Amino acid sequence: MVRDNGGGRPAVAQRSSMADVAALAGVSKGTVSHVLNHPERVSPATRERVEAAIEKLRFVPHGTARSLAIGSMPALGVVLSDISNSLFVDLLEGVERAAQERGAYVLIANSYTDLRRERRYMEMFESVRTLGNLVTINSQHHYANLVRDRDRDGHQPLVFLNYRGEDDRFCFVHADNRAGGAMVARHLVETGRRNIAVVTTPWHLQPIEERLAGFEEAIAGTGARIVSRESCEQIHRADGWRVGRALLPRIRSGEVDAVFAVADLVAAGIAQALADDPGIRIPEDVAIVGYDDNQAAWDSPLPITTVRQPGEGMGATGVQLVYEELNDPTHEHRVVRLGPELVVRASSVPRAAA
Amino acid sequence: MVRDNGGGRPAVAQRSSMADVAALAGVSKGTVSHVLNHPERVSPATRERVEAAIEKLRFVPHGTARSLAIGSMPALGVVLSDISNSLFVDLLEGVERAAQERGAYVLIANSYTDLRRERRYMEMFESVRTLGNLVTINSQHHYANLVRDRDRDGHQPLVFLNYRGEDDRFCFVHADNRAGGAMVARHLVETGRRNIAVVTTPWHLQPIEERLAGFEEAIAGTGARIVSRESCEQIHRADGWRVGRALLPRIRSGEVDAVFAVADLVAAGIAQALADDPGIRIPEDVAIVGYDDNQAAWDSPLPITTVRQPGEGMGATGVQLVYEELNDPTHEHRVVRLGPELVVRASSVPRAAA
DNA sequence: GGCAGTGGTTGAACCGATTCAACCGCAGGC
DNA sequence: GCCTGCGGTTGAATCGGTTCAACCACTGCC
């Protein structure tokens, strides 16, 4: 059944359907379907005939029709708030790996932290019946909206990533930012730092506040202390550079012997500013530590100590939770917290001691 | 018709279908469909009744079923080779905007330049019958493979992005890298540079070779010349930094008065290395120019002159070509070349002259 | 009063797969 | 020779929409 599509277009062979295959092989549609999905139920002779027909007609099953019959499509939806953020790229990698292991595709949507897009894509994923969906959240406000929509028409499992909420209808996977902050504190204290400058952002983001809280907690009673708090407007290298310049005198005077910046780009900017000063040696005179382990941390003339986020882990765990909710009737929604990892580089430890 | 799903799970209200809505509103399925798709064909009274029923049952149409009936799903597939590359992020933005204008969703797949993934996702997009697909290509080899697969079972429009191929079955959209290189050459010459060092990569990438070719062509006969060719192992800031250090003496001596690096990260690294030397003033003694206009170029203590790629333009044009192929029977496949744009920043022009 | 025209609505066919109860032919057991 | 059991196959129902020919009631016109 190769229909003519008429008109002057270059003739495109119409796709053949299961019915075509069945006709050519002289069997029923049901048998063709069995060859594809339960080959063991079909006798070798028929199977061969059907397979030959499939090959000959270049038959590729119609995914949409299959999904309709099955009731869902073998794919997971992921809504990322910012695809240019390396944490989310890592996270995506985790999702893809875990999904692939389970034979599912991953549909990615990028929302640019635009709530309208987030909702639009969630709606779409719901509407094409993905197996389940994963959403990265970085604002209370977005979270509240998505949950509200969900009350309207949500049915697939939904897991929130990089966010810790409290709602027993969902699972959450988030990084333990508090522990990450504490790791930095311990590392600095253990390597003999006592007077630490902390560099943060002016806006209040859950993850960043937690890093600082963990840091302060862990530093308490160790003899080390925070001697300065700087903040930069944006998480950009140039901001870090300006902060670095501002800190120069106090570092030269020995008043500050370590800097903890809550983001790598900022830390890299600081390192760049300090490196310009011939009177300062890093890490002998001052240690610099960032957070996130993105390219700015390792790709720097002076590689920077940082905390690696459990990006892939969050992605993979999210997928696991979706499948658990899907298959395990006793599944209880829960909050999974994953530990980050300290990556020590030249910016905080004299090479010999590294 | 709210079916009980039995078992001990927290009762999840089953989704209602069009039949449920029709029953509640006392009309036929066809009418409900009309309310959704051709409201003008339905009398106001009926429409209101149906809409009330939809609201009451929280009916959301089943996208998969709709796609099956329509024959395609209202979405475009995009396979990106590297989602962490800012060019592709821009490109994606262009795709999303153009798609949204036309009421289509965008499904993104990230291949990590892994050919297997590229093929897997293309297969999936074919199988769910997207309206058309866009693929970024950065190697002849991948291109050849995708085209071969396509011979097997391709039917939707397919447009290649960031690649210039020759095949009258497809459209191609690519950036005019030759023109970009020429822009840099003209800019340097016009601002009085004569002795230029060029920094490139060891591998042979179509776009990069073209940038250089364009540069050399435009510089010929202007009195300026290439006095040095450096190459770095990777497109990383640290590589640029090393190259910058190596160039220091020749810059100090005035032997080199401009550096053109084929990527911003490298240019930023070079700038960083030169800034460390108190004897060198940028841009008075030496101009630095990069390529791509990604974050490294603008987010630097000394913002760097660069060439902005037509990322969004490529994405938007790709979408336009897909729709053209879809709707216009006279559509001829073609190659679209988009011009880049010179962005002049402090690294190449004294502030006063900028 | 009969007829054409029209806006609104219906019901069945269709999209392309999956699934399952029913069926068929055949071997084995008694 | 009859019955049972079983592997293999079939055909119809189903998923949830869209679409279109047919139909209906009603108006306007001759």
Residue nearest to nucleotide C15 (CA to C1'): B69
Using H for helix, E for strand and C for coil, what is the string for chain B?
Answer: CCCCCCCCCCCCCCCCCHHHHHHHHCCCHHHHHHHHHCHHHCCHHHHHHHHHHHHHHCCCCCHHHHHHHHCCEEEEEEEECCCCCHHHHHHHHHHHHHHHHCCCEEEEEECCCCHHHHHHHHHHHHHCCEEEEEEECCCHHHHHHHHHHHHHHCCCCEEEECCCCCCCCCEEEEECHHHHHHHHHHHHHHCCCCEEEEEECCCCCHHHHHHHHHHHHHHCCCCCEEEEEEECCCCCHHHHHHHHHHHHHHHHCCCCCEEEECCHHHHHHHHHHHHCCCCCCCCCCCEEECCECCHHHHCCCCCCEEEECCHHHHHHHHHHHHHHHHHCCCCCCCEEEECCEEECCCCCCCHHHC
Confidence of residue B153 (pLDDT cuts 50, 70, 90): low
Q: Distance between CA B347 and CA A214 in Å, rounded?
A: 40
Residue in chain A lying closest to B17 (CA): A127
Cβ distance B92 to A110 less than 8 Å, yes or no, reads yes
Cβ distance A237 to B300 less than 8 Å, yes or no, reads yes
pLDDT by residue, tens only, chain A of 354 residues: 333 433 333 334 568 999 999 999 999 999 999 999 999 999 999 999 999 999 999 898 999 999 999 999 999 999 999 888 889 999 999 999 999 999 999 989 888 889 999 998 898 888 888 999 999 998 889 999 999 888 766 678 999 999 999 898 999 999 999 999 999 999 999 999 999 999 998 888 888 999 999 999 999 999 999 999 999 999 999 999 999 999 999 999 999 999 999 999 999 999 999 998 889 999 999 999 999 999 999 999 999 999 999 999 999 999 999 999 999 989 999 999 999 999 999 999 874 454
Picking from A189, A268, A202, the residue whose alpha carbon sits closest to that of residue A234 is A202
Residues in A closer than 8 angstroms to B300, CB to CB, are 237-238
Question: Is any atom of strand D within 7 angstroms of residue B2's beta carbon?
Answer: no
Confidence of residue B205 (pLDDT cuts 50, 70, 90): confident
Residue nearest to nucleotide D16 (CA to C1'): B65
> Gap from A202 CA to C2 C1', in Å?
84
Name which of A14, A108, A326 to mutate to probe chain B: the one with the most chain B Cβ atoms within 10 A of its Cβ.
A108
Cβ distance A109 to B112 less than 8 Å, yes or no, reads no
Q: Distance between CA B342 and CA B165 in Å, rounded?
A: 26
Cβ distance A109 to B110 less than 8 Å, yes or no, reads no
Name which of A128, A134, A168, A245 to mutate to probe chain B: the one with the most chain B Cβ atoms within 10 A of its Cβ.
A128
Question: Is any atom of strand D within 7 angstroms of residue B36's beta carbon?
Answer: yes
- What mean pLDDT is predicted for residues B304-309? 98
| Rg, Å, chain A Cα set | 27
- Taking the C1' atom of every nucleotide in all shown strands and the CA of A14, the nearest one is C16
pLDDT of residue B271: 97
pLDDT of residue A4: 40
> Gap from B31 CA to D26 C1', in Å?
20
pLDDT of residue B155: 79
pLDDT of residue A149: 85
Residues in A closer than 8 angstroms to B83, CB to CB, are 83, 89, 92
Question: Is any atom of strand C within 7 angstroms of residue A74's beta carbon?
Answer: no
Which residue type is seen at A284?
Answer: E
Three-state DSSP class for A173?
Answer: strand
Handedness of CA B160, B161, B166, B168 (dihedral sign): positive
- Taking the C1' atom of every nucleotide in all shown strands and the CA of A37, the nearest one is C18
pLDDT of residue B112: 85
Element (H, E) at A247: helix A237-252
Query: Does residue B1 surpass a pLDDT of 70?
Result: no
**Percent of chain B's residues with pLDDT above 90:** 75
pLDDT of residue A113: 87
DSSP 8-state secondary structure symbol assigned to residue A283:
T
pLDDT of residue A13: 56
Cβ distance A64 to B129 less than 8 Å, yes or no, reads yes
**Which bases in strand C are touched by protein, i.e. have an atom under 7 Å from a CB?**
7-20
Token duo for residue A71:
């009731």
> Gap from A28 CA to D11 C1', in Å?
8
Picking from A130, A326, A173, A76, the residue whose alpha carbon sits closest to that of residue B12 is A326
pLDDT of residue B249: 96
Kindly report the pTM of this predicted structure: 0.87
Q: Distance between CA A243 and CA A237 in Å, rounded?
A: 10
Residue pair A202/A214 in contact (Cβ under 8 Å)? The answer is no
Give DSSP secondary structure letters for A83-142.
TTSHHHHHHHHHHHHHHHHTT-EEEEEE-TT-HHHHHHHHHHHHHTTEEEEEEE---HHH
DSSP 8-state secondary structure symbol assigned to residue A263:
S
> Gap from A29 CA to D13 C1', in Å?
14
Residue pair A306/A343 in contact (Cβ under 8 Å)? The answer is yes
Residue pair A96/A119 in contact (Cβ under 8 Å)? The answer is no
Q: Distance between CA B202 and CA B16 in Å, rounded?
A: 60
Three-state DSSP class for A205?
Answer: coil
Element (H, E) at A158: strand A158-161
Query: Does residue B4 surpass a pLDDT of 70?
Result: no
Through-space distance between the first and last CA atoms of chain B, rounded to whole angstroms: 71
pLDDT of residue A74: 92
Residue pair A314/A175 in contact (Cβ under 8 Å)? The answer is yes
- What mean pLDDT is predicted for residues B240-266? 96
